[in-house]
Structure 1
């Protein structure tokens, strides 16, 4: 719980609107309970708000809005869950889903998306003004280009203003238009050279005429980003009156927060023919459902507290319950079809997740396909940091030229993640019969020891067959100058009071796998060796951090310091951290995996790499090979459990938000589809998606193979990916197995009221748990 959450709840109780009188109204009682939970897990402060950046015309902070309105979260229990993404071509009526089959049905769906988006995310926009006045503030010529500074005024008493600069190239028009906020004037310069009218409007932090709209339109609660998007439309009101403008070729572009507003403008204004949205992240291409700690990008909580004025306060209720949002960014993107949109971003940006970007692209593209324009949506991934260079802007103008029929520069969307379950299943058709004949093992705690061989056999079938190989002849520290250059972009965490040593590339562990070991340090900055000369070690297996592996996350602060790792090094543990296969520096390594190793699985490879870590550690003279521990979070937790079940060298393990039982997989907790289909980690599990009860083994069986090793399971009760009642049932079976072997004390299960993240309290609990394990 946040330190201030208790006092906040107390204030709200005192105000009378968290009162007990709700007992007669169960739905109201639930909604008040949801608010209390939200206040516990949300960051309560708004970090960028100021008088000039109020979140509403009446409120400067989210808490102020809560107090003034008394608004409660929706009744989440009455809302359907969509753990993946809401389908753009499916409409819901009277609780039933219907496919969109005609353009008329799609138009109805579009209007529903717009309405819902304004309610939950952007706030309601005013209607377009019927008239406006124009004032040309200045005119000049520069390098043959005519430059005009224009101001339009509109609304009541023409009090609302929008200032913009037009850069009209020499030559005969009409010209296409390249619109972008004030911040990106140099982008417009490049476009002018390419024959576009550059239009730079005052809808950016550096010059923002739209802030005044909040007070001028008090009956509309549109947020800062939507005000800027709506302001861009007021520029277009004027542009379409100019004879120099090709009104069918108006494009809008923006980067980061401006990339979000460009996307929002394109979704709500059909006069915009094309959108270039660069590194727009959460609130842009990244779905809110994938803006949480599991995906280690900018979370809904972080962006809504750091930039509270960008989004409607209602959105903040959905942190930890993102799957309940009726809409998401894939639906917003689909509104642009059949017009054109390209998303550009770095696959290694700290606040983005390229896998999430591609999921949004695939979903929205269904609408572009439906309307017969599949090439009107594109991705332009790159390698680098957040900021863009001229080459990136130029490439996106290539896209506009192609879409506008001006030039035919080759374009191909390059995807980072090539796994398609149906394609895999077609290539492995013979294994479907194996799956049908496989006899599932159901745990009998009294017979767990006798079932172990059958459990491990079925588990190995799911993991696939690892090809034969050899171990490295030497694993050793490398010079920092030889670290992978991608590492320098993603940034490896710094651990205060620790000595960091990097392994690889010429002396890497396993099959050329790089890693970092953080050792506890003494007062002189050297490794702190205990009296017995051996340091216990924790192998850290991270979350679904596709962009940067173990480098970032809720356990790392904004300066790159790993609080999680420091918790262990302060307690005398070394920490070995590596990017899991397919994540961070190893993202491209996983492409074409199933073409290269058709009988294996990515999870099998992750487990193999974890075992290779233990191989390497056993050769280090200062490491205690009898005290090698595993710590896994989400996908890393599954890998840790499987590794410990198979390898006796694991002295103990801890997992956080690791699993939801496979046999309980359903439309709310898609535990099988998530592993088999979405992430392609264990495709064979997909054979059981429709009959999950037939899954060959489940977590109860796998955990039984770990007993009697020390095991700490932390299952946050607000983890939306986990069916907590099913997790409890699984752990009851596991407890029976541990009790049968007289090792009940070795199994600890914790259910904190939290979401799927490692909190400082959890870190301390895990370190204490490992410290008690003796060789």
Structure 2
């Protein structure tokens, strides 16, 4: 059934429809705030899906919301196919027949587009599987594999407006032609229109008069990156696609904007990250308030159920942070479980980054397609579910000792904090075990660290090793007579790239900007992120009485051990550290780590926290921040906080206590008024408690801004450091 149309009996007139959408959008813009994903199996009015009929209605709501907020609405009519003209036929060396066919449709101006069709040499005349993809050069190998496996294969005009291919002339502009054919439709997204073109292509293949005996239960579509988004759109809106593979599709599909955007250095809704042709202009209004979006990609994935879906992503994918992908996948999976087909949705991880596409990846993908369609030898058990962020708090709790669960009376503030962070293992590697891994052998190669490096021949980046199998980089301008100090950069929730900034960079990154200002900068991927992402897998099986936050705070001290006492090695000599001028600064997660580290280690001269916290004792589930649950359950960096769920007032300390331990050393708290992860009123009350004890070294800045760490914030940091 073709879903890429708006039924006349549901909407009376386009103008009324626009007014209705505007009114609904305004209502939920004002009232909808949720830190977690909008549940795929819950209607917008709060009603739960309880029957198959409910689910069908929820699907329709999901599709309409997706059109409202992301791509605009499709034309009311689906134009008929008027003609299909074969303009070129070539017999390929592999025995396949390769054609170019022009399809003409009954649009107002009878517009056409070309497709490339590859027919296998042993075509099944009764039930042939069909594979569609977009003709981007790195996806051609998929078409080759498909035709080799006996699929009729089609390369349709789904090329992105920013791409072009010599062998597929003008395929990137066809969407514009059809957009102009229906100026009143309201569709705005090139990706959405191209998904519609995929459906029009499918019209051709499924009409038997055109000579194909396509198995309607074996129609697949796949795409990488932006083409993965497009493929999901096609399948979500057109039930005739029976299996879809989205490889590294990123936001807003495989991962949501809630768990990407500025707080992770991933893709945001801003125009600088999201090409304007991809989405409605109004989507950028949600910059910094992504938690107000009433629809996210998890629901669109759920709309594909019960059909087959694979999310194929990389562990260090710069568009698909693993944490966000898993939350989307697990929520979408609820629809599959409800329909009794939970194995029809698959999250498949691969090592590496966003690119490249290898032969092994291609084989894996087509094994999934074959399995989906009951072909080949692949079985369901060949696609096991592997999750890296699905934390079972109850299991963790069952492994705790009495002393882990109960805080002793009459303990000092530092003892309370250390109890919360957990018991650190005693084993510490000696100097002989320090080892520096070459850039090319790390998950993140030099290109990620040097991408934004300014053109200064004296700017150096030297790898160093410290602590327990940790590695980072020291950045500085070589030849300076004196450095202003040493600063340690602690990154946000950037699971993919750790300390390396990616989306949203304005000019250069903070580590290079500080180096050019005359500082020696220490940057490293914190444990569980970037180069050290996989090191945190199964952490609590190895260290049930410690915490990931405890490990992160310990690593800061290990960096200090290297800087002050030489406990570590570097790939080349680096400038000496002035122990009286060591500063720590962080953003989001890194800012929280920095505050804890400074409270517990007096070697830190000063700390700057950007969007680092909201008071814990008032951070309940009712808050749009997500409450303390995001720390003990979602990211599971501090499991003991779960002991205080729904009794947050009993948490043994709060951030005013942590910051008081830093006094009288220098401390900057930077918290924007519109930071969706913080309750600004609660935070200001916390600051009032600090002011009398923070000393002259304490500074609080609260601009009218959202949660971000870009050039403006870098300059605030530089100004603050310059006064110390």
TM-score band w.r.t. shorter chain: 0.7 to 0.9
Equivalent residue number for residue 191 of structure 1: 146
Equivalent residue number for residue 169 of structure 1: 120
Deviation at 1:474, TM superposition (A): 6.7
What secondary structure does 1:210 align onto? helix
Task: Select the residue among 495, 498, 502 that pairs with 2:462.
Answer: 502
Q: Indicate the larger mover: 109-118 or 122-131.
A: 122-131
Equivalent residue number for residue 638 of structure 1: 592
**Cα gap change, 1:457/1:260 in structure 2, threshold over 3 Å: closer, same or farther?**
same
Equivalent residue number for residue 690 of structure 1: 646
Equivalent residue number for residue 182 of structure 2: 217
Deviation at 1:159, TM superposition (A): 1.6
In the alignment, the residues of structure 1 paired with residue 78 and residue 58 of structure 2 have an alpha-carbon distance, to the nearest angstrom, of 26
Deviation at 1:350, TM superposition (A): 3.0
- 1:481-520 matches, within 5 Å, as 484=442, 486-488=444-446, 490-492=448-450, 494=453, 497=456, 499-504=459-464, 508-520=465-477
- 1:65-144 matches, within 5 Å, as 74=26, 78-93=30-45, 97-129=46-78, 131-138=80-87, 139-142=89-92, 143-144=94-95
Is residue 221–residue 231 contact of structure 2 (8 Å, CA) maintained in 1?
A: yes
TM-score (norm 1): 0.81
Task: Select the residue among 192, 202, 209 that pairs with 1:226.
Answer: 192
TM-score (norm 2): 0.87
In the alignment, the residues of structure 1 paired with residue 404 and residue 643 of structure 2 have an alpha-carbon distance, to the nearest angstrom, of 10
Q: Deviations over 1:404-448 (max 9, x none)?
A: 11123252246462441335445336669935x777xxxxxxxxx
Equivalent residue number for residue 12 of structure 2: none
Equivalent residue number for residue 713 of structure 2: 762
In the alignment, the residues of structure 2 paired with residue 73 and residue 747 of structure 1 have an alpha-carbon distance, to the nearest angstrom, of 42
Is residue 129–residue 150 contact of structure 2 (8 Å, CA) maintained in 1?
A: yes
Is residue 475–residue 503 contact of structure 1 (8 Å, CA) maintained in 2?
A: no
In the alignment, the residues of structure 1 paired with residue 434 and residue 583 of structure 2 have an alpha-carbon distance, to the nearest angstrom, of 20
In the alignment, the residues of structure 2 paired with residue 485 and residue 99 of structure 1 have an alpha-carbon distance, to the nearest angstrom, of 42
Equivalent residue number for residue 330 of structure 2: 362
Indicate whether 1:529 and 2:481 are aligned.
yes
**Cα gap change, 1:474/1:619 in structure 2, threshold over 3 Å: closer, same or farther?**
farther
- 1:432-511 matches, within 5 Å, as 434-435=405-406, 454-470=412-428, 472-473=430-431, 484=442, 486-488=444-446, 490-492=448-450, 494=453, 497=456, 499-504=459-464, 508-511=465-468
Equivalent residue number for residue 716 of structure 1: 672
Is residue 654–residue 712 contact of structure 1 (8 Å, CA) maintained in 2?
A: yes
Equivalent residue number for residue 241 of structure 1: 207
In the alignment, the residues of structure 2 paired with residue 108 and residue 587 of structure 1 have an alpha-carbon distance, to the nearest angstrom, of 40
What secondary structure does 1:356 align onto? helix
Equivalent residue number for residue 259 of structure 2: 290
**Cα gap change, 1:500/1:471 in structure 2, threshold over 3 Å: closer, same or farther?**
farther
Q: Indicate the larger mover: 157-166 or 703-712.
A: 157-166
Is residue 439–residue 446 contact of structure 2 (8 Å, CA) maintained in 1?
A: no
Is residue 443–residue 530 contact of structure 2 (8 Å, CA) maintained in 1?
A: no
In the alignment, the residues of structure 2 paired with residue 503 and residue 130 of structure 1 have an alpha-carbon distance, to the nearest angstrom, of 60
CA RMSD of aligned residues (A): 2.7
Q: Indicate the larger mover: 104-113 or 159-168.
A: 159-168
Equivalent residue number for residue 532 of structure 2: 586
Equivalent residue number for residue 131 of structure 2: 178
In the alignment, the residues of structure 2 paired with residue 275 and residue 705 of structure 1 have an alpha-carbon distance, to the nearest angstrom, of 54
Q: Indicate the larger mover: 187-196 or 478-487.
A: 478-487
Unaligned runs of 5+ in 1: 1-68, 440-450
Deviation at 1:99, TM superposition (A): 2.4
What secondary structure does 2:309 align onto? strand
Aligned residue pair count: 669
In the alignment, the residues of structure 2 paired with residue 336 and residue 89 of structure 1 have an alpha-carbon distance, to the nearest angstrom, of 13
**Cα gap change, 1:465/1:70 in structure 2, threshold over 3 Å: closer, same or farther?**
closer
Task: Select the residue among 619, 639, 642 that pairs with 1:665.
Answer: 619
**Cα gap change, 1:416/1:489 in structure 2, threshold over 3 Å: closer, same or farther?**
farther
Is residue 440–residue 446 contact of structure 2 (8 Å, CA) maintained in 1?
A: no
What secondary structure does 1:310 align onto? coil
Deviation at 1:482, TM superposition (A): 7.9
- 1:605-616 matches, within 5 Å, as 605-616=551-562
Equivalent residue number for residue 547 of structure 2: 601
In the alignment, the residues of structure 1 paired with residue 301 and residue 563 of structure 2 have an alpha-carbon distance, to the nearest angstrom, of 48
**Cα gap change, 1:181/1:70 in structure 2, threshold over 3 Å: closer, same or farther?**
same
**Cα gap change, 1:249/1:671 in structure 2, threshold over 3 Å: closer, same or farther?**
same
In the alignment, the residues of structure 1 paired with residue 214 and residue 205 of structure 2 have an alpha-carbon distance, to the nearest angstrom, of 7
Equivalent residue number for residue 35 of structure 1: none
Deviation at 1:502, TM superposition (A): 3.2
Is residue 492–residue 551 contact of structure 1 (8 Å, CA) maintained in 2?
A: no
Q: Deviations over 1:304-335 (max 9, x none)?
A: 6x510111112111111110011000111110
**Cα gap change, 1:265/1:250 in structure 2, threshold over 3 Å: closer, same or farther?**
same
In the alignment, the residues of structure 2 paired with residue 296 and residue 592 of structure 1 have an alpha-carbon distance, to the nearest angstrom, of 25
Indicate whether 1:750 and 2:718 are aligned.
no
Task: Select the residue among 338, 342, 347 that pairs with 1:379.
Answer: 347
Indicate whether 1:310 and 2:274 are aligned.
no
Task: Select the residue among 569, 578, 582 that pairs with 1:624.
Answer: 578
What secondary structure does 2:55 align onto? helix
Q: Quick check: which one's helix share is greater?
A: 1
Is residue 233–residue 269 contact of structure 1 (8 Å, CA) maintained in 2?
A: yes
What secondary structure does 2:565 align onto? coil
Is residue 83–residue 323 contact of structure 1 (8 Å, CA) maintained in 2?
A: yes
**Cα gap change, 1:477/1:430 in structure 2, threshold over 3 Å: closer, same or farther?**
closer
Equivalent residue number for residue 7 of structure 2: none
Unaligned runs of 5+ in 2: 1-20, 165-170, 567-574
Is residue 214–residue 221 contact of structure 1 (8 Å, CA) maintained in 2?
A: no
Equivalent residue number for residue 374 of structure 2: 405
**Cα gap change, 1:517/1:263 in structure 2, threshold over 3 Å: closer, same or farther?**
same
In the alignment, the residues of structure 2 paired with residue 529 and residue 146 of structure 1 have an alpha-carbon distance, to the nearest angstrom, of 70
**Cα gap change, 1:502/1:520 in structure 2, threshold over 3 Å: closer, same or farther?**
closer
In the alignment, the residues of structure 2 paired with residue 571 and residue 288 of structure 1 have an alpha-carbon distance, to the nearest angstrom, of 33
In the alignment, the residues of structure 1 paired with residue 678 and residue 468 of structure 2 have an alpha-carbon distance, to the nearest angstrom, of 33
Q: Deviations over 1:693-738 (max 9, x none)?
A: 2222211111111111110011011211111111111111111222
In the alignment, the residues of structure 2 paired with residue 370 and residue 153 of structure 1 have an alpha-carbon distance, to the nearest angstrom, of 41
Is residue 153–residue 159 contact of structure 1 (8 Å, CA) maintained in 2?
A: yes
